[in-house]
Amino acid sequence: MPGKSTRVLSLALVSFLVSGTLALFMRQALPEKGFTLVVEPGGVRYQTPERQYAYSWYLTVACRPAHLDQIYVLTDPTIDNTYAGNRAVLIGLLNHLARDAAVIGWEPMIETVTIEQMRTVLESGRPAVLIDALGYWPAEIAPSTLEHWLAAGGVLIWLGDRFGAWLWTADGPEWAEQPLDELLWGRSMYDPDALARTATVPLPGERNAGLVYWLALSGPSPAIVSELGGRALGWQTPDGRRVSHAVIPLGRGSVVIFGGRLVRVRGLASEVAQDIVVILYRGLTDPRALVRAGTTDGTGASGFEPVEPSCPETRAGIGSSDPWIFRLTSASLGPTARRRGLDDDG
């Protein structure tokens, strides 16, 4: 008798397992129709896919230079007192960056750098993306080096408390006399009266831009970001004094500020990685980027967006950051624009 019951239960289990495996495979092997984007004279025609459930989508048109495909991440092991708390979270960020880029078909070059290598990158004057997720600015790298690199088109992504307020020295962390925002823009980007609150609400529609990291505990003031010619994105505290993301231009480059630290909030550092991929892939580092947002009940949306490319590297991107969709696709507009003789200030 035990033979019979073990056979019945084992067969039931193996049937479940095989059916589940087939369900997983079928889902991957038979991909549903994705987002489409067609460059036409005067703009882009877009279509979002049909699904059985609602989702949000974003269309972006921005100057997206090729150097956004070159990403350096500061992981210097001498910075051992990380805000991340656990170096595994930093490794998690790197892994997620690579995987989230790969699933949308983007293959940036991601390299880790020490402080010395970071200095070399900055001094080279070659624009690229530099991620400092440790919450410290290396004291041995002069802010002017960063300023020149940003002016040349570099993009710095910062995660931590106030931008550059903590320096990393040979003796460990040290409070900076002047944080980087004051050194680079001559003023603070933070509201001195803003409280550190965990509660946030998404910025409406286009301003949320499909960003999912929602902490703004040490986020900059959206009003000051705007005065500096930048753009506040993502989420804001209920009083509107802090935001979770800001893109602030400097010369031909820009600084992307996250409103908090890289911490192990849920599982691995997936929200930060996803946002970095979304920001870079769509060219949201361009503060003048055009963003259109929409939601669909699943029937899909389509339309034509008139576009006037502002540089030869203008790209349009469309997709959804909703985790049950997470797809992005893009198309270049630059050469088309030149052919059609549209404005080109690049």
Least Å distance, CB 317 to other proteins, is 17
Query: How far apart are CB 250 and other proteins at their closest, in Å?
Result: 31
CB of 92 to other proteins, least distance (A): 6
CB of 256 to other proteins, least distance (A): 21
Q: Yes or no: say if 294 and 321 are a contact pair by the CB < 8 Å rule.
A: no
- Which stretches of 226-336 are assigned E, i.e. beta strand? 231-236, 243-250, 253-258, 290-296, 302-306, 314-320, 327-332
Q: Output the CA angle 62-56-59, nearest 5 degrees.
A: 15
Of 274, 213, 271, nearest to 245 by C-alpha is 213
4 three-class SS? helix
Smaller CB separation from other proteins, 231 or 282 = 282
Q: Could you tell me the smallest distance in angstroms from the CB atom of residue 243 to other proteins?
A: 15
Which residues of the chain form contacts with other proteins (CB under 8 A)? 1-3, 5-7, 9-10, 12-14, 16-21, 23-25, 27-28, 31-32, 52-55, 86, 88, 91-92, 95-96, 99-100, 102-103, 197-201, 214-215, 265-268, 270, 322-327
What lies within 8 Å, CB to CB, of 245 at 6+ separation is 209, 211, 213, 219, 232, 233, 234, 235, 256, 257, 258, 259, 275, 279
Nearer CB in complex with other proteins: 6/169: 6
- Measured from the CB atom, the residue of 168 and 326 that comes closer to other proteins is 326
| Cβ 311 to other proteins shortest distance, Å | 32
Residue with Cβ nearer other proteins (26 or 66): 26
Residue 152's CB: how many other CB atoms inside 10 A? 17
For other proteins, the closer of residues 38 and 103 by Cβ is 103
Q: Which is nearer to other proteins, 198 or 302 (CB)?
A: 198
With tokens 């460990």, the residue in question is: 172
CB 290 within 8 A of CB 326: no
